[in-house]
Amino acid sequence: MTTFDAGAYLRAEHAEHLTVANALLAKVADPFNRLVRVVTDSLAQGGKVLFFGNGGSAGDAQHLAAELVVKYSKDRRPLGAVALTTDTSVLTATVNDFGPEHVFTRQVQAIGRKGDVAFGISTSGNSLNVLKALEAARDLGITPVGLAGGTGGKMFGLADPLLIVPSTNSARIQEMHIFLGQTMCGAVERALGLV
C-alpha cells in the first residue's frame, strides 16, 4: 500500500477551487445579472423554471428546483420550478420509446409554456439531451438558459444567458454550478421582494 497524504490532496483541491472561484466573478457577472432578470420576469408573470441535466447536474437540477419551490433563505410563497430529472416512469419510457437524447425534450414539450425558462445544466456544454431540450424550448417560446464549463460547448449561442465556469475540471465546474444556482435563487427572492 502506498503512502497517501490526504491533507496535501485537500490543500491542492482547495487551492484549485479558490483559483476557479476567483476567475469566475469576472467571467459571469453580466450573464448572471441577465439570468436573474430572465428568471425573475418569468416567475413574476406566473411562469416556471424547468431544470434539467445529467448525473451531478441532475442532482443540481433537483436541488435548485427545491430552493425555488420551498425556500432559499426565508419562508415565502412558493415559486414555480420543476426538475425534469425525477420522474422515473417518464424518463425510462422516453429512453425506451424515443432514445435518451429526447428524455428532457418530451417533458419540455409537455409541460413548458411560452414565458417559462428552460434551465439546462451541463459541465461540458455538449450533453445531447440537454441541447435538444434547449432547442425545443426555444422553438416553443420558452427562454433557454444554462450553466456550462470550459468554452460552453454547443450550449454557447443556444442558451442565453449562459454562465460558463472557466475550468475544464468537472469537479470544479460542478462546485461553481451549485454556487451560481443557489446565488441565483437568493437573488431572485430579493428581486421579487419576497425576503
- CATH classification of the domain holding 100: 3.40.50.10490
Q: Is it the case that residue 90 has pLDDT exceeding 80?
A: yes
Question: 155 with 120: CB under 8 angstroms?
Answer: yes
Residue 18 inside a domain? The answer is: no
Residue-wise pLDDT for 98-107, tens only, equals: 999 999 999 9
Residue 40 inside a domain? The answer is: yes
Q: Is it the case that residue 94 has pLDDT exceeding 80?
A: yes
Residue 20 inside a domain? The answer is: no
Percentage of the chain beyond pLDDT 90 is 98
* Domain that residue 42 falls in: 28-191
For 10-64, what is the HEC assignment?
Answer: HHHHHHHHHHHHHHHHHHHHHHHHHHHHHHHHHHHCCCCEEEEECCHHHHHHHHH
Residue 10 inside a domain? The answer is: no
CA distance 28 to 161: 10
Residue-wise pLDDT for 1-27, tens only, equals: 789 999 999 999 999 999 999 999 999
Q: What is the pLDDT of residue 2?
A: 83
Residue 84 inside a domain? The answer is: yes
Average pLDDT over residues 55-67: 98
How many independent structural domains does the chain possess? Answer: 1
Residue 155 inside a domain? The answer is: yes
Question: What's the pTM value of the predicted model, to 2 decimals?
Answer: 0.97
Mind giving me the DSSP string for the chain? -----HHHHHHHHHHHHHHHHHHHHHHHHHHHHHHHHHHHHHHHTT--EEEEESTHHHHHHHHHHHHHHT-SSS------EEETT--HHHHHHHHHHT-GGGTTHHHHHHH--TT-EEEEE-SSS--HHHHHHHHHHHHTTPEEEEEEETT-GGGBTTBSSEEEES-S-HHHHHHHHHHHHHHHHHHHHHHTT--
Q: What is the pLDDT of residue 1?
A: 74
Residue 21 inside a domain? The answer is: no
Residue 6 inside a domain? The answer is: no
Residue-wise pLDDT for 138-167, tens only, equals: 999 999 999 999 999 999 999 999 999 999
Confidence of residue 56 (pLDDT cuts 50, 70, 90): very high
